[in-house]
Amino acid sequence: MSVVRVALLLALGALLPFSVSEEVVCYSDFDERSGGCTQYLGEGVSEGDCCLNIKYSFKRDPGAPCESCRPAEWSEWSLWSPCTVSCLDGVQRRDRVCTGQGDCQGNKVEVRACSLQNCCPETGGWSSWSAWTVCSVTCAEGTKQRTRKCDSPSPQCGGSCAGSSVEKVNCNTQQVCPTHGAWGNWGLWGQCSESCTTEGSGIFPVQTRQRQCNNPSPSLVPPGRPCGQESRQVQDCTSLPFCPVAGGWGAWQPDSECSVTCGIGRIREKRLCDSPAPKYGGRHCEGSNTRQFMCNTKVGCPVDGKWSQWQPWSPCARLQENIACSTKVGTQNRKRECEGEKYGGKWCESHHRESRNCYNVDGCSLDEKWSEWGEWGLCSPPCGKSERTRERVCQPVYPDYPETTLTQTGKLVDVFFSGTPRVRCDPINKQTKKVEEKEECKNVIEC
């Protein structure tokens, strides 16, 4: 990198509104699942400079835990764990990790009920043993066996019988068998007569190997057959190298500029094994042919903006007119903010404000009905004694008002009911607003 460019980057860095902070160990990546720092960049850089790129991470000292530069956010949920039991009712668990600067809102662990099969295995019983088979050989010692079946009774739900279905014992024919000779394995090839060859001579050193007739040796009484073919082999050493020349490193040469245009990056140098180059199998140069140094651009990396949650809808109203509990159409608005954009990052796409047409039923007396039972919730707490809940709620029955209306421009749009009406359903277990049902989660992991 040129002297002029380095001076320019340092000058720009001095103008940026970065606060002075302690020196840290800087990394260019962060593993969300393990919470570890990866891709080491270097030490002796401030926390503010390291976090010019929010994708980076750092340690306050080499033995400290890893911290991410990005704002606090949850990782993806892990996969559900295996069911705690293989039959009947159990539970599964999953978790996620909060990484970044600050605290995350919400649960770290979730647990749900599970069942792999509706019955548990039952063992069966063995039948009586069959008769013994004849001996497996006609001389020396062999084996004989008998069998039985797992059907008295048969196992249920994937069960089995304890023990083996086959029993084997030794049997002796009282007859001696002849032993025929067989070659043992070839021994290793011996050393070549020379360690290298003369280029272009066409003459090669030789090496030999041997084997013995001892796998097994032939018996004398009764007589066994001896081994055939040769017991010794000779071959040329055709793959010997020419006499080696060891390699030597050349001088270090620049190989790149700073690897990034913002935040912390690297500069690389390289060298060649050519002073001299290795020849004929000679030792190659030891060590790395590249090395890297940390570089600091003092420039913040772009951070794109993200939309906040929508704010609540404003009250449904119509200019200088009371429209509550009537078929008169009003309007309501809500907005959201684009947060976090800096260092030239992208502004949020789409609109920050929206409106809709509405009927104002806030505080109005409407007919009501009980909803159906909802889905079962998660097991809580996620360990120890745990239970899950579902509920029914008293819902308003909205009047049969027109579902659409025409705007001043002649466009047909939807109309929504807005506000909290007054409803009171017939009591269920003395409750008129909401009723709950709870159930114990079985086989939950101990805390």
Residues 279 and 381 in one domain: no
- Domain of residue 325: give its range: 316-332+357-441
Is a pLDDT exceeding 80 seen at residue 13? no
- pLDDT for 416 beyond 80: yes
* Residue 41 binned pLDDT confidence (cut-offs 50, 70, 90): very high
Question: At 99, is the secondary structure helix, strand, or coil?
Answer: strand
Residue 7: what are its φ and ψ, rounded to 5°? -60, -40
Q: Which two tokens stand for residue 258?
A: 């700073």
Q: Using one digit for the tens of pLDDT, what is the confidence trace for 346-399?
A: 999 989 999 999 999 999 999 999 999 999 999 999 898 899 999 999 999 999
Q: Are 303 and 342 in contact (CB under 8 A)?
A: yes
Instruction: Report if residue 415 sits inside a domain.
Output: yes
pLDDT for the residue numbered 283: 87
From CA 97, how far away is CA 289, in angstroms rounded?
A: 39
Is the residue at 112 inside a domain?
A: no
- Residues 129 and 144: their CA atoms lie apart, in Å, by 13
Average pLDDT over residues 254-280: 89
**Mind giving me the DSSP string for 20-31?**
P--EEEEEEEEE
Domains: count for the chain: 2
Measured CA to CA, the distance from residue 42 to residue 112 in angstroms comes to 44
- Check pLDDT > 70 for residue 8: no
Evaluate whether residue 403 is within a structural domain. yes
Q: Domain check: are 420 and 321 in the same one?
A: yes
Does residue 303 register a pLDDT over 70? yes
| Bridge partners (DSSP) listed for residue 149 | none
Please determine, for residue 6, whether its predicted confidence score (pLDDT) is greater than 80.
no
Nearest to 79 by CA among 92, 91, 94: 94
Name which residue leads in pLDDT, 315 or 410: 315
Q: Which of 421, 409, 416 is nearest to 329 (CA)?
A: 416
Domain shared by 328 and 435, yes or no: yes
The answer to the question of residue 433 being in a domain is: yes
Contact 133/144 with Cβ under 8 angstroms? yes
Residues 399 and 328 grouped into a single domain: yes
In tens, the pLDDT along 61-108 reads 999 999 999 888 888 888 999 998 888 888 899 988 888 888 888 888
Same domain, 277 and 366: no
Q: Confirm whether 223 is domain-assigned.
A: no
Query: Are 327 and 418 within one domain?
Result: yes
Verify that 322 and 273 share a domain, yes or no: no
Strands (E), 300-428: 306-307, 330-335, 338-339, 353-360, 367-370, 386-397, 404-406, 412-418
Which pLDDT belongs to residue 200?
A: 66
What pLDDT is stored for residue 359 in this prediction?
A: 95
Instruction: Tell me if 417 is assigned to some domain.
Output: yes
Answer whether 155's CB lies under 8 Å from 119's CB: no
Task: Report the C-alpha gap between 57 and 40 in whole angstroms.
Answer: 9
- Asked if residue 432 and residue 367 are part of one domain, the reply reads yes
243-263 per-residue burial string, b: 16 or more CB within 10 A, e: under 16 = eeeebeebeeeeeeebebeeb
Do 261 and 364 belong to one domain? Answer: no
* CB 147 within 8 Å of CB 129: yes
The CA-CA-CA angle for residues 86, 443, 391, to 5°, reads 115
Is 432 part of any domain?
yes
pLDDT tens-digit map of 152-191: 898 988 888 988 999 899 988 777 888 888 888 988 988 8
**In this structure, are strands 412-418 and 353-360 parallel, antiparallel, or unpaired?**
parallel
Residues 288 and 320 occupy one common structural domain: no
| Position 232 pLDDT exceeds 70 | yes
Same domain membership, residue 320 and residue 292: no
Distance in angstroms (rounded) separating the CA atoms of residues 103 and 87: 39
- On average, the pLDDT of the chain sits at 87
Do 414 and 364 lie in a common domain? Answer: yes
* In a domain? residue 172: no
